[in-house]
Amino acid sequence: AKTIGIIGGGQLGRMLAMAAARLNFQTVVLEPLADCPAAQVASDQIIAAYDDPAALAELAKRCDVVTYEFENVPVAAAERLAKDVPVYPPPKALEMAQDRLTEKRFINDCGIPTARFHAVDSQADLEAALADFGGQGVLKTRRLGYDGKGQRVYRSSADSAEGGYAALGSVPLILESFVSFEREISIIAARGLDGAIACYDPAENIHRDGILHTSTLPASISAETAAAAREAAEKILAALGYVGVIGIEFFALADGSLIANEMAPRVHNSGHWTEAACVVSQFEQHIRAVAGLPLGNPVRHSDCVMQNLIGDDILSVPDWLRRDDVLVHLYGKTESRPGRKMGHITQLRR
């Protein structure tokens, strides 16, 4: 493959385009917003909606393989595109990941536990589901949620369910049982065209206001728990006939067992540390996988902490730049807004 198409023009697309350029690939980004983070570094941009038929036809014509940087590419558009050009990860992965109900059923079918869950399509469904979970649970939109958006937590039966269905927009919802986890971890794994699998070490993640704040390596988990995360990733990748990088989030319980939370069929924020602490980053790994190249070595050479720069955190960049143990990575966004991911830093701990 000489030219790689990337659907989506955010920071993940930008970092994929950078990794692709380093391996001599051209990249064409499909993104409706001009001057997006990815277009600043990609070889070219097609400015159109992600499901625009003419734009997808042009992308297929110009590219040897097409990938994506976000999981909400319409499945029908991805399937249509796959008739003309290889699309990796496979559209089936999009289908399984973009609806939390489908996703949890799929993960359970792989033999991996998740929180218990009920589909919620009405206020009556919500009340019945909460009653089943003793008044506790996390209510989420089935589709399009990210950074904790589209969620409501019920901590006890004292929390009133009234109006809960309408408050999340009267769209299809899921109520998950509340998991009292000890910590949150994620694993970044890759599967090549030849079926080879490479897993990075699990990261321990801390969220702030629903947004990932830090990913720390190593995670404070046992070797058994780390192995369980790897085994779960291998099952999911094999079941999907996956090609590319995937991010899978877990809750680790006090007894060391894991409950899968969600998966993202793309490079993942909790894998940004790999660019500083591994020879081959998750971005290069994804490009290698979709281009049919051998996967790189996922072994970590340093302990580290990745921290997101959200909104005005960007003002701390001059301080980070003065440190000799920190890699700074900025996304080219000119306007800082609360909650907006502006960049990240990775501090090596040697």
Question: Residue 255: how many CB atoms within 10 A of its CB?
Answer: 7
Identify whether the C-beta of residue 201 lies closer than 8 Å to the C-beta of residue 300: yes
* β-sheet bridge partners, residue 345: 307, 328
Among 147, 231, 234, 303, the residue binding ligand ATP under the rule CB under 6 A is 147
- Residues 31-70 touching Mg ion, rule: CB under 5 A, are none
Which residue lies nearer to ligand ATP by CB, 4 or 15? 15
- Residues 100-119 touching ligand ATP, rule: CB under 6 A, are 115
- Residues 234-293 touching Mg ion, rule: CB under 5 A, are 249, 262
Q: What binding mask, one character per residue, do residues 257-276 give for ligand ATP by CB under 6 A, x or -?
A: ----xx--------------
DSSP labels for 271-331?
Answer: GTTHHHHBSS-HHHHHHHHHTTPPPPP--BSSEEEEEEEEGGGGGGHHHHHT-SSEEEEE-
Which one of Mg ion, ligand ATP, none is in contact with 147 (Cβ closer than 5 to 8 A by kind)? ligand ATP
Query: Taking the mean position of all CA atoms in its chain, how far away is CA 142?
Result: 16
Determine, following the binding rule CB under 6 A, whether residue 204 of this chain makes contact with ligand ATP: no
Which residue lies nearer to ligand ATP by CB, 45 or 261? 261
Handedness of CA 99, 15, 216, 277 (dihedral sign): positive
- Specify the stretch interacting with ligand ATP by CB under 6 A; choose among 20-28, 50-58, 62-70, 174-182: 174-182
Amino acid at residue number 209: D
Among 28, 38, 138, 233, the residue binding ligand ATP under the rule CB under 6 A is 138
Q: Tokens representing 26?
A: 């051209």
Half-sphere exposure of residue 8, counting CA atoms within 13 Å on the CB side? Answer: 18
Which one of ligand ATP, Mg ion, none is in contact with 135 (Cβ closer than 5 to 8 A by kind)? none
- Which residues of the chain form contacts with ligand ATP (CB under 6 A)? 115, 138, 145-149, 176, 178-179, 184, 207, 210, 249, 261-262
